[in-house]
Structure 1
Amino acid sequence: MTSTLGFAILAVLARGERTGYDLAAAMRRPVGYFWTAGHSQIHAELQKLRAGGLVGFEAEHGPGPQGRKVYHLTAEGGAVLREWVTEPPRERPERDELVLKTYASWLAEPELVRRMFADQLAAHEERLAEYERQEASFGGPPAFGDPGFGSYATLRCGLSYERHRADWCRWMLAQLSESL
């Protein structure tokens, strides 16, 4: 049974061979925008995928005394990934700390809550600006079937999310302003 992290690794490797370092970098950006994993998690998962025959590697001489492994997707890994892509996602509970804090915010000093939302608004606006810069670099959506299509589609989801969160933060700030 491959984990969701395993499928994320397979999806990155489907775009081309990578060393463990390159894989971790791809998992930070762009995959890290919607699925996060630490280097130790990635390494452990790579070993499971390798044991399952879903990835392989070629050993190469590295720049130093240690060799390096360049991982690739196997034919079986590609087949498993293609099958998984069209399965409905597993149900997962939402866990949003800001929403939980908002639920209990009536207990806090309004000015402190306002400051928290002002900071959150600034963070969402900053990410939105970054995502908008990335979107402009595409020059429009790539054709379906191009690996760039998935990157563009997930970026569009990120844009919508950041716009929504920024709007919600503005609404909260307006509500808090009325109570101050």
Structure 2
Amino acid sequence: MSLKHAILTLLETEEGSGYDLLKRFKSRLGYFWNASHQQIYAQLKAMREQGLLEYDVESQHDRPDRKVYRVTDKGHKALLDWIAQPVKIDKVNDALLVKLYAGHLTDNTSLLNEVQQHKLVHQRMLQTFLDLEQDYLALSPEQKPQYTLPYLTLRRGILGEQAWLEWAREVETFLAKNT
């Protein structure tokens, strides 16, 4: 997936400025796709030059004018074409796994401490996801259909965090026994 397709996806549902997109990344896609402020603005410029986006300028008092982007017909077609194509399966690049793989070169106590630090992060993320799930479950039956597919991405996040925490318990048990 490219940043271009993530931006098209977000703008398909709601027009917005670069700042709006940054906020939406953090609140909607940021759990599984990251983009910096600079990356978003550079990509918006490139996409406009490619004819995938257009914008209107809104004047603001005491601040620079704001560009509100929307998807063009060409951008909509590009997004549909991308959706129709299979995506590559992502490979995992996880430094913690490399450390564990090379763990025979160090003491288990330092590895155990690091796994426990990572575990705290994953526990917080799981709780965030579970809170978001409660928000979805509290929606009215009329509201739920438009959020069903985003909810399924949330479920992937929940299951992924639960699996990671279960694996971490196995690692902790092994490292604690062999310290």
TM-score by length of 2: 0.91
- Tell me which residue corresponds to 2:177: 178
Q: How far does the alpha carbon of each residue in 1:74-120 deviate from its partner, in whole angstroms, 9 at most, with x for none? A: 12211211221131113554311111111111212211111111111
TM-score by length of 1: 0.91
C-alpha distance in structure 1 between counterparts of 2:119 and 2:175, whole Å = 14
- Tell me which residue corresponds to 1:134: 132
The one-letter code matched in structure 2 to 1:33 is Y
The one-letter code matched in structure 1 to 2:54 is G
- Tell me which residue corresponds to 1:112: 110
C-alpha distance in structure 2 between counterparts of 1:92 and 1:124, whole Å = 20
The one-letter code matched in structure 2 to 1:149 is T
C-alpha distance in structure 2 between counterparts of 1:90 and 1:48, whole Å = 24
Q: Aligned runs of 1:14-93 on 2, under 5 Å?
A: 14-93=12-91
RMSD: 1.6
C-alpha distance in structure 1 between counterparts of 2:63 and 2:128, whole Å = 39
- Tell me which residue corresponds to 1:161: 160
C-alpha distance in structure 1 between counterparts of 2:24 and 2:149, whole Å = 14
In structure 2, list runs of 5 or more residues that go unmatched: none
% identity of equivalent residues: 29
Q: Which runs of 4+ in 1 moved over 6 A?
A: none
Q: How far does the alpha carbon of each residue in 1:126-148 deviate from its partner, in whole angstroms, 9 at most, with x for none? A: 110110010011017933xx2x2
Offset at residue 29 of structure 1 (A): 2.1
C-alpha distance in structure 2 between counterparts of 1:22 and 1:29, whole Å = 11
Offset at residue 152 of structure 1 (A): 0.9
In structure 1, list runs of 5 or more residues that go unmatched: none
Distance 1:44 1:51, change over 3 A: same
Q: Which moved more, 1:27-36 or 1:164-173?
A: 27-36
Q: Which moved more, 1:103-112 or 1:91-100?
A: 91-100
Does structure 1 residue 122 correspond to structure 2 residue 124? no
Distance 1:70 1:119, change over 3 A: same
Distance 1:172 1:150, change over 3 A: same
Offset at residue 63 of structure 1 (A): 3.2
C-alpha distance in structure 2 between counterparts of 1:24 and 1:99, whole Å = 30
Corresponding residue SS for 1:33: coil
- Tell me which residue corresponds to 1:10: 8
Aligned residues: 175
The one-letter code matched in structure 2 to 1:122 is L
